[in-house]
Amino acid sequence: MKHRFLIKLTKKMNDKLPGRISHEIMMVKPRYKYIEKKASTPAAVLILLYPIKDKWHFFLTKRTNNVEHHKGQISLPGGMLEKGESHKEAAIRETFEELGVQSREINIIGPLTPLYIPISNFKIFPFVGWLRSAPKLNIQSKEVSKVFSPSISSLTDPKTKKIKDSILLGQKVKIPFFNLKNEVVWGATSMILSEFKKILKGAV
């Protein structure tokens, strides 16, 4: 059953990706107009799947207030590229640094659609990978205050997606978010997960 899912997921990811349309589902509305800067900072994140019995789960982290960007927010393991690194190498390295998952244990399926974040001028390159079993974690407490692992079935559940009214930069907005493990997952992370959710619908 596990292998059948991975085969289907790999096939779906090798097809044309949903891309920006799936990102827009989770964008704050109204959306601010922006022009992507040529000198954006590249970063990479990893949706790392692992099985518990007959269900697949993935890691999300809550960032500490010590980090430079996106303090206290929910994110996928990842971070900025180091000199000479590929996007994939950065995603794997950052996952090891934040969670302690050994790089040799991570099997990368492939990339998702890159996502530009205007407010921080980051361009995020997401990847999907998997582990054969649940790993023993060694959390980087300077950057990560909490780790939790929703199931992919909770991500694909329509009841998980919600919208809240808020004030952002002095303007009334509607913020779409995923309620996963009683945590609010919004912004770039939710947009990346939105594309992954679309892909999962053809794989589970």
Give the 3-state DSSP-derived string for the chain, with helices as H, strands as E and coil as C: CHHHHHHHHHHHHHCCCCCHHHHHCCCCECCCCCCCCCCCEEEEEEEEEEEECCEEEECEEEECCCCCCCCCCEECCEEECCCCCCHHHHHHHHHHHHHCCCHHHCEEEEECCCEEECCCCEEEEEEEEECCCCCCCCCCCCCEEEEECCEHHHHHCHHHEEEEEEEECCEEEEEEEEEECCEEECHHHHHHHHHHHHHHCCCC
Structural domains of the chain in order of their starting residue, each with its CATH number? 2-153+160-200 (3.90.79.10)
What is the reported pLDDT for 167? 87
For residue 104, CA distances in Å to 87, 89, 127, 167 come to 17, 12, 16, 44
What is the reported pLDDT for 67? 64
On whether the CB atoms of residues 42 and 81 are closer than 8 A, the answer is yes
Question: What is the phi/psi pair of residue 150, to 5°?
Answer: -65, 155
Burial class (CB in 10 A: 0-12, 13-18, 19+), 129: buried
What is the reported pLDDT for 170? 82
Q: HSE, CB side, 13 Å, CA atoms: give it for residue 93.
A: 14
What is the reported pLDDT for 33? 65
Per-residue pLDDT tens, the chain, 204 aa: give them. Answer: 578 899 999 999 999 999 999 999 999 998 766 666 668 899 999 999 999 988 999 999 998 867 666 667 899 999 999 999 999 999 999 999 999 999 999 999 999 999 999 888 899 999 999 999 999 999 998 889 999 999 999 999 999 999 999 988 788 999 999 999 999 999 999 999 999 999 998 776
What is the reported pLDDT for 171? 85
On whether the CB atoms of residues 46 and 126 are closer than 8 A, the answer is yes
On whether the CB atoms of residues 152 and 57 are closer than 8 A, the answer is yes
Dig out the tokens for 99 from the structure: 């969670």
